[in-house]
Structure 1
Amino acid sequence: MSTFKSKVSITHIGTATAILEIDGITFLTDPFFSPAGTGFEFAGQILKVHDNPALKMDQLPHIDAVLLSHENHADNLDPLGRQLLDGRRVFTTVDGAKNLAPRPSVIGLKDWEQREVRIAGKIFTITATPCKHWPGHECVGFIVHTDDFGVAADGKPNAIYFTGDTVYVPELARMADKYHIVIALMNLGKATFDDLQITMCGRQGARLFRDIKADVLVPMHHESWDHFKQQEPELAKEFREEGVLDSVRWPKPGVSLQLN
Structure 2
Amino acid sequence: MRVTRIGGPTAFIDWAGWRILTDPTFDPPGRTYSFGFGTSSRKVTGPAVALDDLAPVDVALVSHHQHADNLDDAGRAGLAAVGTVVTTVAGSKDIAHRDVRGLRAGESVRLIADGRPDLTIAATPGRHGSVLTRPIVGPVAGFALTLDDAARPGLWMTGDTVISRRLRRHVRDLAPEVALVHIGAVRFGITARLRYTMDAREAVELIRLARPEVVVPIHVEGWSHFSQQEEAARRVLSSAPAEVAERVRWLPLGEAVELP
- Assess same fold via TM > 0.5: yes
Q: Which moved more, 1:220-229 or 1:82-91?
A: 82-91
Corresponding residue for 2:44?
A: 50
Q: Residues 182, 170 of structure 1: CA spacing in aligned structure 2 closer, same or farther, 3 A cutoff?
A: farther
Q: Residues 123, 13 of structure 1: CA spacing in aligned structure 2 closer, same or farther, 3 A cutoff?
A: same
Which consecutive segments of 4 or more residues in structure 1 shift more than 6 A?
Answer: none
Corresponding residue for 2:194?
A: 196
**Aligned 8 A contact 2:217 2:249 in 1:** yes
Distance 2:221 2:146 in 1: 29
Give the SS at the match of 2:101.
Answer: strand
Note the C-alpha offset of 1:168: 1.3
* 2:174 equivalent to 1:162: no
Note the C-alpha offset of 1:176: 5.0
Note the C-alpha offset of 1:197: 0.3
Note the C-alpha offset of 1:169: 2.4
Corresponding residue for 2:32?
A: 39
Q: Which residue among 124, 128, 132 is the counterpart of 2:119?
A: 124
Q: Residues 222, 179 of structure 1: CA spacing in aligned structure 2 closer, same or farther, 3 A cutoff?
A: closer
* 2:232 equivalent to 1:234: yes
Note the C-alpha offset of 1:251: 1.1
**Aligned 8 A contact 1:65 1:119 in 2:** no
Q: Residues 58, 201 of structure 1: CA spacing in aligned structure 2 closer, same or farther, 3 A cutoff?
A: same
Corresponding residue for 1:256?
A: 256
Q: Show structure 1 runs of 5+ residues with no match.
A: 1-7, 151-155
**Aligned 8 A contact 2:144 2:153 in 1:** no
Q: Which moved more, 1:131-140 or 1:37-46?
A: 37-46
**Aligned 8 A contact 2:22 2:61 in 1:** yes
Corresponding residue for 2:143?
A: 142
Q: TM-score if structure 1 supplies the norm length?
A: 0.88
Instruction: Read off the aligned partner of 2:78 and give its amino acid letter.
Output: L
Q: TM-score if structure 2 supplies the norm length?
A: 0.88
Q: Deviations over 1:77-104 (max 9, x none)?
A: 1111112222520000001101124x23
Give runs of aligned pairs for residues 1-260 of structure 1, distance below 5 A. 8-43=1-36, 44-86=38-80, 88-101=83-96, 103-119=97-113, 121-134=116-129, 135-136=134-135, 137-147=138-148, 150=150, 156-176=151-171, 179-193=174-188, 194-243=192-241, 244-260=244-260
Corresponding residue for 1:3?
A: none
Q: How many residues end up aligned between the 2 structures? A: 246
Q: Show structure 2 runs of 5+ residues with no match.
A: none
Note the C-alpha offset of 1:58: 2.2
